[in-house]
Amino acid sequence: MSFTGKVVIVTGASSGIGADAARHLAKLGAKVSIVGRNEKRLNQVAEQIKSAGSPAPLAIVADVTKDAQRIVDKTIKHFGKLDVLLNNAGIVIQDNVTEINLSEFDRIFDTNVRSVITLTKLSVPYLEKTKGNIVNVSSVAGLKAIPNIMTYCMSKAALDQFTKCSALDLAPKGIRVNSINPAAVRTPIFETFGVNEEQAEKMLEEYKKRYPLGRVGEVHDTSAAIAYLADDEVSSFLTGILLPVDGGSIVAGV
Ligand code: NDP
């Protein structure tokens, strides 16, 4: 698998799944535009890519809810084209139907859904030229109901419909659109919604016992699935796919 000469935008590249996907795609030869708000962490990822001997990345400190135009413009100005848009940036909060806070609902939907729509719309003219593709990072939470993360589940379900509808809309332009839908993956995301490291570790241990493959996901699992869907040789006939990366948890009904 080679991404040599391909230009990839990776949102949410300052941490977790996005950071590893950016490092992985760059190792496979891609020129990556890495996007995140945290400049320090983003620059650390840029350094890791450079010191691995991969093509020099472009670090764009930006908020996907506000800076979509700047993200696409800077990438085109710097690299001259776009082959893959990896919509990975995402956030989660704990809530349920009786405790829902509508401004938090807006914040989640702005990040997990609205920004993806905007970035996709802005990227289409460039992806049409390269016959490129889009990979969205959804979740098993889009495919099933999970207690106490209601707004997150709704946002990922909306993202999944966006993946499928935009796959149909963009197929005539030769642009493929797919998503990966991971179950629990070991990243700092758990600490972003009020769970400390120890509690996160406990949660992951619990998942591990219930997942058929006997472990939780690691970022190398998501990176491999992203690269698979983004690769035009192996996946040229795949579009509108929601790919669970879940250790068998969906089929087990976990
Ligand atoms: P992390 O918290 O480790 O990373 C989230 C990334 O999103 C960070 O780089 C963060 O960057 C970025 N981000 C969030 N909001 C914005 C914003 N407004 N503008 C730009 N960047 C933003 O989480 P993960 O790596 O775990 O999550 C990545 C994706 O994977 C998410 O969409 C998540 O829903 C999904 N996922 C994760 C699972 C898991 O168990 N870890 C399971 C299933 C899906 P910064 O703070 O620098 O802006």
Full domain range(s) for residue 137? 7-189+219-245
Residue 194, pLDDT above cutoff 90: no
Using pLDDT thresholds of 50, 70 and 90, give the confidence band for residue 67.
very high
Q: What is the pLDDT of residue 214?
A: 97
Active site residue 152: yes
Q: What is the pLDDT of residue 193?
A: 80
Closest residue (by CA) to atom 23 of ligand 1? Answer: 189
Does residue 116 lie in a domain region?
A: yes
Does residue 96 lie in a domain region?
A: yes
Does residue 211 lie in a domain region?
A: no
Does residue 93 lie in a domain region?
A: yes
Which helix (DSSP H) or strand (DSSP E) does residue 204 occupy? helix 197-210
DSSP letter string, 100-143: --HHHHHHHHIIIIIHHHHHHHHHHHHHHHHT-EEEEE--GGGT
How many structural domains does the chain have? 1
15 ligand 1 Cβ < 6 A: yes
Interval 145-159 mean pLDDT: 97
Which CATH number characterizes residue 142's domain? 3.40.50.720
CA distance 227 to 204: 25
Does residue 137 lie in a domain region?
A: yes
Does residue 151 lie in a domain region?
A: yes
Q: What is the pLDDT of residue 192?
A: 83
Longest dimension (CA), the chain: 51
Does residue 2 lie in a domain region?
A: no
89 ligand 1 Cβ < 6 A: yes
Residue 190, pLDDT above cutoff 90: no
Please, what is the average pLDDT of the chain? 97
> Which tens digit of pLDDT belongs to each residue from 156-170?
999 999 999 999 999
> Which tens digit of pLDDT belongs to each residue from 75-118?
999 999 999 999 999 999 999 999 999 999 999 999 999 999 99
Does residue 154 lie in a domain region?
A: yes
215 ligand 1 Cβ < 6 A: no
**14 alpha carbon – ligand 1 mean position (Å):** 8
Query: Which of the residue ranges 29-38, 131-140, 166-175, 192-201 would you say has the lowest mean pLDDT?
Result: 192-201
**80 alpha carbon – ligand 1 mean position (Å):** 27
Q: What is the atom index within ligand 1 of the atom nearest the CA of 217?
A: 40
12 ligand 1 Cβ < 6 A: yes
